[in-house]
Amino acid sequence: MLTRKKHTRRPRLSCLKDSNHSVPETVTNDVIRLIQETPDRGDRKLSYLKEVFLTKFVSSDTDPADVRRTRAISKWLSVERENEATNDRLLIMSEEYNILPRVTWHVFRTHAQRLIAKILGDTVPLTALFGGFSGGATTTKSRTESHPAQKYLGKAGITSAAEKWFETIRQEAPAWMAFSDRLEFVPIQGNMLFTVPKTTEIDRVAAKEPDLNMYLQKGVGNFIRRRLRRVGIDLNDQSINQRLARIGSIDGSLATIDLSSASDSLSIELVSAFLPDLWFAFLADIRSPHTLIDGEWHENHMFSSMGNGFTFELESLIFWAIARSVRDLTGFSGIISVYGDDIIVESSIFEDLSWVLGVLGFSVNLTKSFHKGPFRESCGGHYSDGYDISPFYIRKPLTTVRDVITLANQVRKWSQITPDGGCLDPTLEHLWVFLRALVPSELRGGTNPDTNNQLQSYDIPSRELVAITVNRDNSEGGYLLWLDTCEGSTSPRDGLTTSSRSIVTNRYRTRRVRADGRKSPYIFLSEIFTTAEGLTNISNTS
């Protein structure tokens, strides 16, 4: 008897449903080998990449997590001992001490105070109190429940000194008052220390702030950020420092300065010496005076740490004032640009500025600071004689399709010869071809190398990755978030694009995208002359 053959549908690749689909364990070693065995041919960009691309790699074969964490905490406590010494030194420093030739400490401090007062004003405006929440963990919220909307209601950590400032906000914001019975203050002494991977040898220390302290801190950070634009410091644009670093690498006129543990070296007495009295008192109230380290409270000698909502902006403001004061009081002129602890000044004041920074408790990282020779580095931009040699880093083993897409897009961006398009540098084309073969064809065809939702390639796109989200019941918190977002916005969309969903960032799925014929503007030669099957064959023989 004849039977009808049952139609079987070709199975879909599982990675199209969940991009956590694993890739072969050998991929990471293959990638490392392909980079290390690529012939230099006198290429400074490639040789520099080989020097640094594994410096931030962390895996089971590198130093264990507990060892890296212990080293990070030991370094942090060492910086704190230096901060204590800096506080003592600044307290007893003579007004007549020559911090620069023929420039006394009194003259220098007064000059810096005036510069900062012009930025901040002498008093704290009410608008500086209205901040917001980030998506990071706090003293009462873990990373998985840290969507901003979830932080407006329920338990919220706060230090005793910050309570009066938050009560001021609640009196001025009717929406806060309407839900005041839904917010439970949790008194706490300060923030909580944690570490994240930094390099193969040591972690980076940061701190989880009390929820409502963070809200106030974000308000201050946003206020300082806006005011710094008045003097040409735009903390929303790293390309300014990158462009200046490139100029410095060409003609040597500009120096790039990097500081070690800069955020953690902002001492209490330094902030007190430079800020207007009312500003210092306010910031002292909303900072975390103590840090919880493995169950024990540590009294902080630093003013604020990484994790504080205003640390980045405050350090940028203070470094700008210090650099500007050195320039003005030594009779020089010229460019000053600051982005956190990335400082760019005229090379002529590099030595004087380095000395002053040392007196004030900071340590210039001489391995990452440059005022002579053809190399400059700032804000992730690395330049040699004007040539962009910025590397990419492999930070962990490649385990998923998304990891492969991320690295392949970094390789493609590294291969761009000029910003305005054209064919790509073929030096690492063989590596990109190898990675491309691991990515399903449906996820190819992206046009932006700075994203990890599609492989940038000369293909027609059909799908892209999107984060899997978990819906939360945050209607009331979402309403408060909406009001905060709308405050000062220029269009309804600024506020309406807020969401009450909490993103689970370690899991992704795919969604269809319109195949509109978009093509990547940057092309490898193999993408023009080789078919997809040919590319796969090349990758298998690499």
Half-sphere exposure of 395 (CA within 13 A, CB side): 12
Flag whether pLDDT at 215 surpasses 50.
Answer: yes
Chain mean position to CA 531: 39
Largest CA distance in the chain: 109
Q: How far apart are CA 147 and CA 474, in angstroms?
A: 10
What average pLDDT does range 40-66 have in this prediction?
Answer: 90
Residue 29 has a pLDDT of: 95
CA angle, residues 358, 360, 363, in degrees to nearest 5: 35
On the question of pLDDT at 205 being above 80, the answer is yes
Nearest CA-CA partner of 350 in 374, 385, 325, 323: 323
Mean pLDDT throughout 298-310? Answer: 94
The answer for residues whose C-beta is within 8 angstroms of residue 264's C-beta and 6 or more apart is 76, 79, 80, 83, 205, 302, 305, 306
Task: Report how far residue 267's alpha carbon sits from residue 332's, in angstroms, rounded to the nearest whole number.
Answer: 28
pLDDT in tens, 355-364: 999 999 999 9
From the list 247, 460, 445, 257, the residue with the least C-alpha distance to 363 is 257
Q: Is 500's pLDDT higher than 60? A: no
Q: What count of Cα atoms within 13 Å lies in the side-chain half-sphere of residue 121?
A: 12
Q: Which of 12-16, 424-428, 510-514 has the highest mean pLDDT?
A: 424-428
Q: How would DSSP label each residue in 429-498? A: HHHHHHHHTTS-GGGEEES-TT-SSSEESSS---EEEEEEEEE---HHHHHHHHHHHHTT-SSHHHHHT-
Q: Are 419 and 527 in contact (CB under 8 A)?
A: no
Q: What is the DSSP letter of 366?
A: T
The Cα–Cα gap between 320 and 341 comes to 10
504 compared with 45, residue with greater pLDDT: 45
Q: What are phi and psi of 371, to 5 degrees?
A: -135, -5
Q: Is the pLDDT reported for residue 2 higher than 90? A: no
Question: Has this prediction a pTM greater than 0.75?
Answer: yes
Does residue 93 carry a pLDDT above 80?
yes
- Concatenated DSSP letters of 227-292: HHGGGT--TT-THHHHHHHHHHHHHS-EEEE-EETTGGG-BHHHHHHHS-HHHHHHHHHHS-SEEE
Query: Which DSSP letter does residue 347 get?
Result: G
What local confidence, expressed as pLDDT, does residue 132 receive?
A: 75
The pLDDT tens digits for 106-144 are 999 999 999 999 999 999 998 888 877 766 677 766 665
Query: In this structure, are residues 204 and 195 in contact, taking their beta carbons and an 8 Å threshold?
Result: yes
Measured on CA atoms in the order 15, 16, 20, 25, is the torsion positive or negative? positive
Please, are residues 383 and 375 in contact by the beta-carbon 8 Å criterion? yes
Q: What is the pLDDT of residue 21?
A: 76
Question: What is residue 18's predicted lDDT score, i.e. its pLDDT?
Answer: 55
Q: What's the confidence (pLDDT) of residue 175?
A: 62
Q: CA–CA separation, 262 vs 97, rounded Å?
A: 24
**DSSP string of 197-208?**
E-SSS-EEEEEE
Residue 80 in contact with residue 267, Cβ under 8 Å? no
> What's the mean pLDDT in 434-461?
88
Q: How far apart are CA 105 and CA 210, in angstroms?
A: 36
What is the helix, strand, coil percentage profile of the chain, to 5? 45, 20, 35
Nearest to 199 by CA among 64, 62, 68, 56: 56
Please report where in the chains the tokens 């003579």 appear, as a residue: 94
DSSP state of 186: E
Residue-level pLDDT at 386: 95
Both structure tokens of 97: 């001490």
Instruction: Report which of 291, 273, 104 is spatially closest to residue 189, judged by C-alpha positions.
Output: 291
d(CA 132, CA 138): 13
pLDDT at 381 over 50: yes
Tokens 């790509």 sit on residue: 424
Give the model's pLDDT for residue 487. Answer: 54
User: Which pLDDT score, from 0 to 100, does residue 422 have?
Assistant: 72
Q: Do residues 219 and 361 make contact, with C-beta atoms less than 8 angstroms apart?
A: no
Q: Hey, CA dihedral for 444, 445, 448, 449, is it positive or negative? A: positive
Alpha-carbon distance values, 335 to 172, 240, 245, 295, 366 (Å): 41, 11, 12, 46, 21
Please state, rounded to an integer, the average pLDDT across all residues of the chain: 85
DSSP SS3 for 344:
strand
